[in-house]
């Protein structure tokens, strides 16, 4: 059975074979993940469609076309165990080689017996051959070859010889392209404000345990801000709009993108119809996205169709930043770290848990008055969240 690169979208034509989760010649079971692929939009796992033995046809890091065959599963076969070395240290006869390894060895002119295998039972894999003998070879005595000491560092050698150059992954390329496009193709401005999170923190502390028991999810900050943004978007619809050619498209629904940091880059899955969800529904949706990202099960459809986005740099300790638009959206809210600061309340200096807020917006369709009004409305809702919380 052939393992092919699946189609993941009309505009995606190739992918990066990121990592093999199984080794060449290893037994796999049906529905078991065998490899990870990356496109310019998403990272996903490919599962085995049958029980059998895996033969790897394409190495990690290779760029492969959609529909290309990257591996074969020989159904019904059992992975051969390599014999253990004799006690004298002289290796026994090498284990059987897979067709892919045998073919690659012939092309490269490498004798597989001289390469130390890292596969199951010491089998030589395609990766072992691709490394071109970088691993220590075995003498007849079974002792590893002696590696010469590295030469002393020449401080006069060119800097270029002391750098590592790796190609950008498809996802990182796409992120770079979109960030550059946001700068070049929009009239982006940012307005700032700050919010007192005292009442939100009190509500969370009061209801957290009951909320967890009742709904099975934690009550976080993000659901308050999603609710606040939805209500503010209803009052300032231009912030929920987008430019399409010479038209302004006003959305009468609220699909809120939530920026989540992943190992390979930032992704923005979309909570659809957030205005119809409760606090528990929003928190459950976010938790589901986080789990899907960790297990590479996030689908392309999860990233499409957003009308407004929220990014929380505060989880990394950011105190203040300028979020970048996620085209074609016209607005993005930046949340930041909560920090106790002295503020004036009723003529008195008091210490309150404060958060800086930033709204980046496309000035082509959103005026400064609307942007400032929107951000002030978000501030009001999170500073007096009881109404939102009771409704949600």
Per-residue pLDDT, 188: 95
pLDDT along the chain (392 residues), means of 10: 81 81 92 86 84 92 89 75 38 54 70 72 70 44 51 61 80 78 88 97 93 94 96 97 95 96 83 96 95 85 93 93 93 97 95 97 96 97 86 60
Per-residue pLDDT, 56: 94
Distance (Å, rounded) from C-alpha 128 to C-alpha 311?
42
Fold of 170-391: Chloramphenicol Acetyltransferase (3.30.559)
Distance (Å, rounded) from C-alpha 297 to C-alpha 282?
19
Tokens of 23: 């080794």
Q: Are 358 and 190 in contact, with CB atoms under 8 Å apart?
A: yes
Please give the positions annotated as active site: 363, 367
Crossing angle of helices 198-215/279-294, nearest 10°? 80
Per-residue pLDDT, 159: 65
Q: How big is the chain, counted in residues?
A: 392
Provide the 3-class DSSP secondary structure of residue 93: coil
Q: Are 15 and 173 in contact, with CB atoms under 8 Å apart?
A: no
What phi and psi, each to the nearest 5 degrees, are found at residue 200?
-60, -45
Q: Are 46 and 34 in contact, with CB atoms under 8 Å apart?
A: yes
Q: Does domain 2-130 have CATH number 2.40.50.100?
A: yes
Per-residue pLDDT, 75: 87
Per-residue pLDDT, 140: 36
Boundaries of every domain in the chain: 2-130, 170-391
Q: Are 73 and 49 in contact, with CB atoms under 8 Å apart?
A: yes
Distance (Å, rounded) from C-alpha 131 to C-alpha 297?
31
* Of 368, 375, 377, nearest in space to 187 by CA: 368
């Amino acid at each position: 059975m052939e393992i092919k690169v699946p189609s993941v979208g009309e505009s995606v034509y190739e992918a990066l074979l990121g990592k093999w989760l199984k080794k060449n010649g290893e037994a796999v079971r049906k529905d078991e993940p065998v490899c990870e692929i990356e496109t310019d939009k998403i990272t996903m796992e490919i599962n085995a469609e049958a029980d059998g033995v895996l033969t790897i046809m394409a190495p990690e890091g290779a760029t492969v076309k959609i529909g290309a065959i990257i591996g074969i599963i020989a159904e019904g076969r059992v992975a051969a165990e390599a014999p253990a070395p004799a006690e004298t240290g002289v290796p026994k006869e090498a284990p059987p080689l897979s067709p892919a390894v045998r073919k690659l060895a012939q092309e490269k002119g490498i004798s597989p017996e001289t390469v130390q295998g890292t596969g199951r039972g010491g089998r030589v894999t395609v990766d072992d051959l691709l490394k071109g003998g970088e691993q220590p070879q075995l003498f007849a005595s079974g002792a590893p070859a002696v590696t010469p000491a590295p030469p002393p560092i020449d401080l006069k050698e060119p800097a270029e010889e002391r750098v590592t150059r790796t190609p950008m992954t498809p996802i990182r390329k796409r992120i770079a392209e979109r960030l550059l496009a946001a700068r070049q193709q929009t009239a982006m401005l940012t307005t700032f404000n700050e919010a007192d999170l005292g009442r939100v923190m009190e509500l969370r502390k009061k209801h957290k345990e009951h909320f967890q028991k009742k709904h099975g999810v934690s009550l976080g900050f993000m659901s308050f801000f999603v609710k606040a943004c939805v209500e503010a978007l209803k009052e300032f619809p231009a912030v929920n709009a987008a430019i399409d050619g010479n038209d302004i498209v006003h959305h009468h629904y609220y699909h809120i993108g939530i920026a989540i940091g992943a190992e390979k880059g930032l992704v923005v899955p979309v909570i659809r119809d957030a205005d119809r969800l409760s606090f528990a529904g929003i928190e459950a949706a976010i938790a589901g996205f986080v789990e899907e990202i960790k297990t590479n099960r996030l689908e392309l459809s999860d990233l499409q169709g957003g009308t407004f986005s929220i990014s929380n740099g505060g989880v990394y300790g950011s105190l203040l930043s300028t979020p970048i638009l996620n085209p074609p959206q016209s607005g993005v809210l930046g949340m930041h770290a909560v920090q106790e600061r002295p503020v004036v309340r009723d003529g008195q200096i008091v210490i309150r848990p404060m958060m800086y807020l930033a709204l980046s917006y496309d000035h082509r369709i959103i005026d400064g008055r609307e942007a400032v009004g929107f951000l002030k409305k978000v501030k009001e809702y999170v500073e007096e969240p009881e109404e939102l919380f009771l409704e949600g």
